[in-house]
Structure 1
């Protein structure tokens, strides 16, 4: 209720300043900044830690058998597809055919990468096999994010002046935003998928876990969650959501259009997505 009131620009009488700011945070996290649509719950950044700790923990636990590798990579990329679509930049509609093609391509790429790397690590130390999920996730992010946001690469994303006045659409800004998101997502996965495997590889050699193998999965999920609590906000903050780009780096047509409207503008802003 507070969120809807804030979006309408009307404050309920009696609200304190802290309550208004709280309402703004809730509103910003629940609604897409460009389309104004309410984002599905698991597509919001607030769902990243609980969802990713479960999925990533299972990927790191069940990495030995091909069926479980395929299943958890599919679950992970399905979740990533929802997140990438929900946090895209711009308000250009995407057809169901484009979404379906992007989803199938990204999921297939992730599974193929995981299985290919898994086969390469058969003759390597056991610890090497534990890093296969991370390599697959990093590669899949480079596939999934651009594919799920391919419409931005075709028609561009809105760029605005400092006051938020829309100046046009830019493919160059879209490319920069997508690269920033890919870097953030890969960095976000590094602590959660690199630290727990080393710890678990040591713990599984101890008698405590040998006698209690059922503790392996929940312990792994807990370690991943602990890492994600810190990595998620830090990596989301690597690049500001309202990013900027110099006018000289934009497409010639858009650059000319902006200079005709306001010659004094040197930097424009855009929503890079998350």
Structure 2
């Protein structure tokens, strides 16, 4: 992931730093997008990066020496600067609203803010801690889902509150239901051991419901479709596609569900299967907490970009699968109907 491996720079949403046709390319892109280092940039630095992109679009590129370059003659070093500027802007500014996303709810802030919550959930072995951390976890997840949705369709505060209440309420019901079931089915000592495994299924169900419920208004209002250049189609009449919105919400929901697996399974599997780690913990039980914390955060840090990368953010959909109003649109470049459309599924 160096300047030498970058694709030619472009500001089109459908063009990315790495090929989005492969999982490796999507993972590379999301690994950079989830980089916590992005959180240190101030709003003025973000706006400066945005200005660099505007200068590029205007045909000018300002270097450190304040010289001006044609955007048709950009060096590898300048290409790297442009991609980094775009990464900084996209990490903090919502592409639909143009508003700055609060740091805890950016994808780059997901691991440092949600990671400690996951550690607490994994370590919980009784009902009250599980319920408390489930509430904190799903509240943070709901806000991440909200701030990283496709915001081209408006969402009222009332709808947001209803969605939040339903998402977090379902999370607590699932956690409470599983906790109660375990305590009734097993003796106290066994139940306490089993409670550690309650967090995983409750997190899977709750995170899935959370994502789907918070973003379900998109399905009702629809999202715009774009051509390969990122131009919104039928924009003059504010037309949207509910079918594309449903595909986007469902794919994001699936990735949120899969994300729980590396967080809950990888650390325990490695700690029990690797002799050096197992022996260290047996000799010094106090090391269990820091080792578990490190393993969970590492699994989360790699699992997040990996699961988000399962589906490309700018996804495609066949013209045969969308609403009739789009199926017969003529592509001005070919004078033929579009074969495929694109849409932003959100993160």
- TM-score relative to the length of structure 1: 0.88
* Matching residue of 1:164: 230
> After superposition, what is the alpha-carbon deviation per residue over 1:194-231, rounded to whole angstroms, capped at 9, x for unaligned?
2234566796983521xx3xx54443222111112221
Matches within 5 A, 1:248-267: 248-256=320-328, 258=329, 263-267=336-340
**Distance in 2 between residues matched to 1:13 and 1:181, nearest whole Å:** 38
* Matching residue of 1:14: 64
- Does 2:121 align with 1:45? no
- Higher Rg of the two aligned structures: 2
**Distance in 1 between residues matched to 2:175 and 2:281, nearest whole Å:** 25
> After superposition, what is the alpha-carbon deviation per residue over 1:22-55, rounded to whole angstroms, capped at 9, x for unaligned?
1111111111122222111111111122123211
**Distance in 2 between residues matched to 1:199 and 1:73, nearest whole Å:** 25
Contact 1:73 1:110 in 2 (8 A): yes
Contact 2:316 2:342 in 1 (8 A): yes
Count of matched residue positions in the alignment of Structure 1 and Structure 2: 268
How far off is 1:105 after superposition? 0.9
Contact 1:154 1:171 in 2 (8 A): yes
How far off is 1:4 after superposition? 2.5
- Sort the Cα spacing of 1:127 and 1:176 in 2 relative to 1 into closer, same or farther, 3 A: farther
> After superposition, what is the alpha-carbon deviation per residue over 1:219-259, rounded to whole angstroms, capped at 9, x for unaligned?
32221111122211211211111000001111223334x35
* Matching residue of 2:36: none
**Stretch of structure 1 that moved more, 194-203 or 99-108:** 194-203
Contact 2:53 2:85 in 1 (8 A): no
> For 2:314, which of 242, 248, 253 is the aligned residue?
242
Contact 1:7 1:27 in 2 (8 A): no
In structure 1, stretches of 5+ residues that fail to align are none
SS in 1 for 2:240: strand
In structure 2, stretches of 5+ residues that fail to align are 1-44, 66-77, 234-238
| Structure of greater relative contact order (alpha carbons < 8 Å, 6+ residues apart) | 1
How far off is 1:128 after superposition? 4.1
- TM-score relative to the length of structure 2: 0.71
SS in 1 for 2:224: strand
SS in 2 for 1:206: helix
Matches within 5 A, 1:214-225: 215-225=287-297
**Distance in 2 between residues matched to 1:70 and 1:126, nearest whole Å:** 15
SS in 1 for 2:293: helix
How far off is 1:260 after superposition? 9.0
**Distance in 1 between residues matched to 2:55 and 2:100, nearest whole Å:** 17
**Distance in 1 between residues matched to 2:310 and 2:263, nearest whole Å:** 17
**Distance in 1 between residues matched to 2:289 and 2:128, nearest whole Å:** 17
Matches within 5 A, 1:90-169: 90-122=151-183, 123=186, 128-167=194-233, 168-169=239-240
